Amino acid sequence: MDLDTEARIIELAYEIEKLISENFAKERNETVQRRVKEIKEEIRSYGFEITWEATLNSKDLSKLDVNVQIWKPKKNLSPEDQKIYDDWFKNVNKITA
């Protein structure tokens, strides 16, 4: 991956973190939801997956702590190893589908 692509992915991750932390507890906002979806799609277009977790800030309950993770795909895995990786990824990220 070139440095421009890496910088873009990092920029998008910070943007999604900010959007979630600033808007999660507010009323539903179509513009914010659309932008989050656009960011997810752009990151996925580079071949990466994105997950996030939001928790209440223990010192200030009006704020959220947001953890955004970008997952780099594994290359050249055997079918058996790919299944193990996919199962692990789904378990870690609590994906049921």
Find, among 10, 16, 22, the residue nearest to 72 by Cα.
10
Q: Show me where the domains of the chain are located.
A: 3-92
* pLDDT (tens place) for every residue of the chain, 97 residues total: 688 988 999 999 999 999 988 887 677 789 999 999 999 999 988 888 888 888 888 888 778 888 998 887 777 878 888 788 878 877 777 766 5
- The pTM assigned to this predicted structure is 0.72
**DSSP annotation of 59:** S
CA within 13 Å, CB half, 85: 12
Contact by Cβ (8 Å): 82, 25: no
